[in-house]
Chains A and B, each alone.
Chain A
Amino acid sequence: MPAPLLDTKLFLPVPRGGVVPRPRLSRRLERGAAAKLMLVSAPAGFGKTTLLAAWLAQGAGRPVAWLSLDEGDNGPETFWTYVIAALRTVVPDIGENELALLASSQPPPIHLLLTTLLNDLSALETDVVLVLDDYHLIESRDVHDSMAYLLDHMPPRLHVVIASRADPAVPLARLRARGELVEVRAAELRFTAQEAAAYLNGEMGLQLTAHDVAALEERTEGWIAALQLAALSMQGRDDAAGFIAGFAGDDRYIVDYLAEEVLQRQSGRVRDFLLHTSLLSRLNGPLCDAVTAQGRGRAMLETLDRGNLFLVPLDDRREWYRYHHLFADVLRARLSDESPDLVRELHRRASEWYGDHGERSEAIRHAVAGEHFDTAADLVELTLPALLRDRQETTLRGWLELLPEEVLRDRPVLSNGYAAALLSTGEVEGVERHLRDAERWLDGAAQSHRVDEPPTRKVVAYDELDRLPAGIAVHRAGLAMARGDPASTVTHARHALTLLPDGDDVGQGAATALLGLASWAGGDLEAAHAAYTDCVACMLRAGHLSDVLGCSITLADLRITQGRLRDAVRTFERALELAREHEGPVLRGTTDMYVGMSALHRERNDLDAARQLLTRCEELGEHNGLPQNRYRFRVAKARLREAEGDLGGALDLLDDAERVYVADFSPDVRPVPALRARTWLRQGRVDDALAWARDRGLSVRDQLSYLREYEHVTLARAHLAGHEAERPEHTLEEATELLRRLLHAAEAGRRNGSVIEILVLLALAARIRGDSVAASTSLERALTLARPEGYVRMFVDEGPPMAALLEAAAERGSNTGYARRLLTALGAARGPAPARQGLVEPLSERELDVLRLLRSELGGPDIARELVVSLSTVRTHTSHIYAKLGVNNRRAAVRRAEELDLIARTPDRRPGPVVTPDE
C-alpha cells in the first residue's frame, strides 16, 4: 500500500503572462536540452522554476516529464516511483513492470530496476526532457547514487534537467570534463539592468526612471524574488523613488524587508491568511478553511492568485497551490516568532484535516511538526497493521524515529512494531529493548481490558493488542535466529504458535518458517521440510505468493540434499503453476524457480533445457528475482559452463556470484568459495584448493556438522587430488577416513544427495588404492540410490576415472543399464552440435519464443506481456520471423515453422515441463 501518487507533483508549471524574455539564456537552455545533464543551480528566489517553465512552454511539442520533488521523496523507491510516473506522462507505456516492483513488498535493488528501465528508454525515438525541480530537498545517499547510476548509463534520447539550491551529489566534475554538462548558475540567472527594467516597467506596469531601476538592480543584485517583492510594494504607490531610496541604503535582509512592506499593504484578513497557511506545503480551499478555522479559503486563494501574491498553481483546475518557497519561509519565520503557540495549533488542525482525508503521512508530519506526539503516535499505531501487512517496514521505521522515546515506551503496539521494523531491515540492536517495553504492559495486564488497564499504557489499535504476545514471541524467535541461536529460535517460535490467534496466517507462517530455519540449520531436514510446507500453506492462505516462491526454493534445496530430485522438480513445478495463474506483472520469484529448475536439468544432463531456462531468466531481468537470485543465477550458470567444459568462464561467474551474495537467515550450505575450490581442482590447481581449505581452517580431523558438510566433502576432494599430485602430506588414508566419517554423518541425517557424492568419492579413492572390490561396492550403492532420481552429472563430472569404474559396473551388478547410459553421457560429454533448422538464417531463441506464442490465440499486446517486452519489440521479432521463414502472415509463419519442425506440434515436446509457462 504505497502512498497514492500526487498528480500535483507532476504538473508542469504554466508561466504567467508577460514573462520577461531572456534570449541570452535561451541559447544555453537549448544546449542544455541536448546535453546529458543541465544543472540550474542557484539560491532561493532566482527564478529557476519560472525560467524552465517559460522555456519549456516555448518549445512546443517537446516531450517534457516534470517532477517537483519534496522532502518525502528521500527514499529510492518513492523517488523512482515518481520519476517513472513523470516519464509516463510523455512515454505512457514505459516502466509499468518497474512501478509494480517498486510498489511490491520488497523491491529489488534500484540499479537492477534501472537497468531494465534504461533499456526501455534507449529505444526512445524522440528526445525526452526529464526535469527534477527542487532537487536540493533530496538528501538520501541512495537516491544520489541511483541518480549517478542513471547519468552514467543515460540513453541517448533522454536529457535530465536538475534545478536545485545546492549542487547535487552526482559526479558533476566528470560530466563537466566530458562536456556532457550545461550549467545555469546564479550569475546567469540574475536579472541584468535591461531585464530588471523590462520586468518592473513592462510586466509590473511601474513607471520607474532609469536611475530608480539601476538603484533597485544594485540593491537587489538582480535577485529576482527581491525585485518581485519590490515591485509589489510599489504598485499603486506615488513615491516610488522615495521608497527605493528608503531601502537602498539599508542593510536589512531584503526579502524580509520587502515582505513586510507587502504584508502591510494587505488587509488584516489577508495578512492573517497568508501567515496562518504558510506552514502548508500545498494549499486548497477546504484545507485552508480547516487551518484558519474560517471559510472562503478558496475565494481567498483565487484573490491571491490574481494579485500575483506568491502562489504557484499546482494543477490546471486552480485547485491546489503552493507558496513561493522563499516567501513561505519568510512568513513561517515571522509566524513562529509572533505566535509560537498558534503554530502548534495550526499544525494540529492541518494534521486533523489530512487525517480525515486519508493522507496519513501528511497528518503524521504535521502532528510531529506541531509537537503533538501523542496524536502522531496514534496515527502511526492505526496505520501499523496495514504497513506491516504490506511490508512497508522502512516507512514505519521512518515515522517511529520521529517520535520521542518516552512516547514510544508507553505504547506496547508501537514498541512491538518498532522491533518488527528493525528486524526486517536487518538490525538487531535495540530489538530486545523494544520487545521488553512492549512486554512490560502485558504482564498481569494481558487479561485486562480498556477499563482497568494500567493508567499509563496507551493503545489505540486494540485489535493489535490481542496479537501482541504472539508477535513479541515471533520477533524474539527472529532475533534469536539473527544471532545464530537455533535452540532459542525453536523455543520462541513454538511459544508463538501457542499464542497466535486463529486465522493469523501471516503470523503462523512467520513462526513456522523460523522453526523450519532452525531445524535446517540444525541439520534436521525432514523437520525443516515439514515446517516449510506448513509455511507455504499459511502464505497461500494469506495470498503472499512471492513468499510461497521463496519457500519453494528452500523446499527444493532440502529435497536435493536428501537426494530426491524428482520431488525437487515437483516443488518447482507447483510453484511455477502458481506463478502462471497469477494475474498482472510477472510474479517476483518466478525467475528463482527457473534457476532452480535449470540446475536440476543440468544434473540430469539436459544442458539445452538448462541453458534455455537461464536465458529466460536473463530476459525477465534480474530485478524480477528474490534477493538471493542474483547469486543463485550465477552459480547455476557457472556450473552449466563447467559442464560445457568452460572452466575459466565458470570461475569468472563464481567470482561474480560471491560479489553479489547477500546473506539472509537461511544457512549458506554450499558456499561459493567451496564451489570455486572444486573448479580449481578440475583445472588441476590443487595447491590453490588446498590453500582455500587451510584459510577456512578445515582439517580431516574436524568434528563434522551438516553446515560444513559441503566444505568437508570439498576438502576430501582436495586431499584425493593432493595424493594424485604426489603431495606427500596428503594421504589417501586420511581422505578415505574423512569420507567414511562423512558418509556416516550423511546417512544418519538421511541426506542421500550427500551420500551419493561421498560414495562416488569413496569409489574413486578405492580405485586409486587398487581395491577394485571396495570401489565397485561403493559405486553400486551410489548407482542404486541415484538411478531412480535420474542423476547424471554427479558421475559424468568425475571424468575418465569414473568411466573406468562404470565400465565394470556396466558388465555386472544390478545397475548395468544405468551405468551404460552414464557411459554414453560421458562419451558425449561435450554434446553434439545443435541441429540446423534448415533455414538460411536460423531463428534466435527469442524468435522461437515469439513463434510459439504466435501459434496461440494471444494478440500482440498479450504476447508482449507474456514475454515482458514492449509491443514494438514483439513487432520487430515478428517481422524478422516472417522474413526468415519467407512468409507474410501469422498463420503461414506457424504452418511453415511446423513443417520445419521449429516448433513442436504438441506442447509435450518442449525441453522441460516448465520451460514454457505461457501455455
Chain B
Amino acid sequence: MSDTHPSPDRSHEAVHYTIRLRGHLASRWQAWFDGLTLTCDSDGTTLISGPVLDQAALHGLLHKVRDTGLPLVSVVQVDPTWATPNHPTHRATD
C-alpha cells in the first residue's frame, strides 16, 4: 500500500462567492476578510466577493461576518466568468 498525499480533488479550484451585508464596511476591512473585495452599494449594503477556497473557508468567512454583528442578507455562489461584483448574476445554491 503506497502513501500518497491526499488529493484535494476539485477543491483547489476556488469557487466565487458574494456575501451581502446590511451596512457599509470601509475598505480597510479588506485585510480582515482575507483580501476579498469589499464594495458598498447605494442601498446601504456591502458586498464581499471573491474566490473562496472551499466550504470550510466559506464557513470561516461567515463566522467573521457574524462576529462583526452586521446583519447577513445573502450568500450566493457565482460564476466568475460572467459576473462582476456590481452586477452579480445570481445562481442560488440553496
Contacts and interface: CB of A to CB of B under 8 A. Distances in A.
Interface of A: 43-46, 136, 165-166, 223, 225, 250-256, 325-326, 329, 332-334, 336-338, 340, 429-433, 436, 483
Ranked 3 nearest A-B pairs via Cβ? A333-B32, A337-B28, A433-B3
A136 B6 CA distance: 31
- Of B1, B26, B44, chain A has the most CB atoms within 10 Å of the CB of B26
Given A251-B24, A254-B23, A430-B3, A333 B31 contact: yes
B3 A44 contact: no
Interface string B46-61: 1000000000000000
Contact of B67 (A44, A46, A337, A430): A44
B6 A252 contact: no
Contacts, number: 71
B19 to A, nearest CB: 14
B1 A166 contact: no
7 contacts: A46-B69, A252-B23, A326-B69, A333-B29, A336-B32, A429-B3, A436-B3
A338 B28 contact: yes
A255 B68 contact: yes
B67 A253 contact: no
- Of B1, B2, B23, B40, chain A has the most CB atoms within 10 Å of the CB of B23
A166 B1 CA distance: 44
Given A254-B23, A483-B1, A45 B69 contact: yes
Interface in B8-43: 23-26, 28-32, 40
B87 interface: no
Contact of B32 (A43, A225, A337, A431): A337
A433 B3 CA distance: 6
Contact of B68 (A253, A340, A430): A253
B66 interface: yes
A46 B67 CA distance: 12
Contact of A252 (B24, B30, B32): B24
Contacts of A165: 66-67
A761 B52 CA distance: 68
Contacts of B68: 44, 253, 255, 326, 329
Contacts of A329: 32, 67-68
Main secondary structure of the interface of A (DSSP, over half): helix
A431 B40 CA distance: 49
A482 to B, nearest CB: 11
Nearest to A340: B31
Contacts of B44: 251
A332 B64 CA distance: 12
B40 A251 contact: yes
Nearest to B25: A253
- Of B1, B5, B25, B69, chain A has the most CB atoms within 10 Å of the CB of B69
A253 B24 contact: yes
Nearest to B34: A336
B70 interface: yes
B6 A256 contact: no
A329 B26 CA distance: 14
A223 B69 CA distance: 9
Contacts of A45: 69
B1 A431 contact: no
Contacts of B28: 333-334, 337-338
Given A166-B66, A223-B69, A253-B70, A433 B24 contact: no
A432 B26 contact: no
B13 to A, nearest CB: 20
Interface residues of B, number: 23
A477 to B, nearest CB: 16
A476 B59 CA distance: 38
Contacts of A432: 1-3
A257 B92 CA distance: 32
A337 B29 contact: yes
Nearest to B26: A256
A251 B46 CA distance: 10
A334 B70 CA distance: 17
A333 B68 CA distance: 10
A253 to B, nearest CB: 5
A252 B25 CA distance: 6
A70 to B, nearest CB: 14
B67 A256 contact: no
Contact of B31 (A255, A256, A336, A433): A336
Contacts of A44: 66-69
B45 to A, nearest CB: 8
B6 A253 contact: no
Nearest to A434: B3
Contacts of B25: 253, 256
Contacts of A326: 67-69
Nearest to A432: B3
- Of A43, A251, A254, A338, chain B has the most CB atoms within 10 Å of the CB of A251
A252 B26 contact: yes
Contact of B26 (A136, A253, A340): A253
Contact of B69 (A166, A225, A433): A225
A334 to B, nearest CB: 6
Given A253-B70, A329-B67, A436-B3, 10 more contacts: A165-B66, A251-B23, A251-B40, A251-B44, A252-B23, A253-B23, A255-B69, A337-B32, A429-B3, A431-B3
Nearest to B66: A165
B24 A337 contact: no
Nearest to A343: B31
Contacts of A337: 28-32
Contacts of A483: 1
B71 to A, nearest CB: 8
Nearest to A428: B1
A893 B57 CA distance: 69
A337 B23 CA distance: 19
A347 B23 CA distance: 31
Contacts of B26: 252-253, 256
A757 B62 CA distance: 65
A847 B70 CA distance: 62
Contact of B5 (A225, A338, A433): A433
A223 B6 CA distance: 46
A454 B30 CA distance: 42
Contacts of A250: 24
A333 B31 CA distance: 7
B88 to A, nearest CB: 19
B67 A325 contact: yes
Nearest to B41: A251
A44 B4 CA distance: 43
A438 B26 CA distance: 48
Contacts of B6: 429-430
